[in-house]
Chain A
Amino acid sequence: MILGPHADFIIASYALTAFVVAALVAWVVLDYGTQRRMLGGLEARGVTRRARRED
Chain B
Amino acid sequence: MPIIDLANPTRFLNAVNRVLPWLVAATALAFAFGLARVMGAPDDYQQGATVKIMFLHVPAAWLGMMGWGLMSVAALGTLVWRHPLADVAGKAAAPIGAAFTFICLVTGALWGRPTWGAYWVWDARLTSMLILLLLYLGVLALYWTAEDPGRGARAAAILALVGAVNLPIIKFSVDWWNTLHQPASIIRMGGAAIDPSILVPLLIMAAAFTLLFVTLHLAAMRNEILRRRVRTMQLMQAQALAEAHS
Q: Using a CB–CB distance below 8 Å, which chain A residues touch chain B?
A: 1-7, 9-10, 12-14, 16-17, 20-21, 23-25, 27-29, 31-32, 35-36, 38-39, 42-43, 45, 47-52
User: How long is the Cα–Cα vector from A41 to B53 in the complex, in angstroms?
Assistant: 46
A sample of 20 inter-chain contacts (CB < 8 A) reads A5-B114, A6-B49, A6-B50, A9-B50, A9-B110, A9-B113, A10-B53, A10-B110, A14-B56, A17-B60, A17-B103, A17-B107, A21-B212, A27-B95, A35-B230, A39-B229, A43-B233, A49-B236, A50-B236, A51-B236
B126 at the interface (CB under 8 A from A): no
Residue of A nearest to B232 (CB): A49
Residue of A nearest to B106 (CB): A16
Q: Using a CB–CB distance below 8 Å, which chain B residues touch chain A?
A: 39, 43, 48-50, 52-53, 56-57, 60, 95-96, 99, 102-103, 106-107, 110-111, 113-114, 212, 216, 219-220, 222-223, 226-227, 229-230, 232-234, 236-237, 240
Point out the residue from A13, A25, A43, A45 that lies within 8 Å of B53, measured CB to CB: A13
Q: Given A45-B237, A49-B232, does the pair A9, B53 have CB atoms closer than 8 Å?
A: yes
Nearest CB of B to A41, in Å: 9
Residue of A nearest to B59 (CB): A17
Q: Given A28-B219, A35-B223, A42-B237, does the pair A17, B56 have CB atoms closer than 8 Å?
A: yes
Contact in complex: A1, B39 (CB < 8 Å): yes
Contacts of B234 in A (CB 8 A): 42, 47
Residue of B nearest to A9 (CB): B110
Nearest CB of A to B199, in Å: 19
User: How long is the Cα–Cα vector from A5 to B50 in the complex, in angstroms?
Assistant: 9
Please provide the 3 A-B residue pairs with the shortest distance between their CB atoms, ordered closest to farther: A35-B226, A6-B114, A4-B49
Contacts of A28 in B (CB 8 A): 216, 219-220, 223
Residue of B nearest to A33 (CB): B223
Nearest CB of B to A54, in Å: 11
User: How long is the Cα–Cα vector from A6 to B115 in the complex, in angstroms?
Assistant: 10
Contacts of B212 in A (CB 8 A): 21
Q: Given A27-B95, A32-B222, A39-B226, does the pair A9, B114 have CB atoms closer than 8 Å?
A: yes
Q: Given A10-B50, A20-B103, does the pair A25, B230 have CB atoms closer than 8 Å?
A: no
Nearest CB of B to A17, in Å: 5
User: How long is the Cα–Cα vector from A27 to B95 in the complex, in angstroms?
Assistant: 10
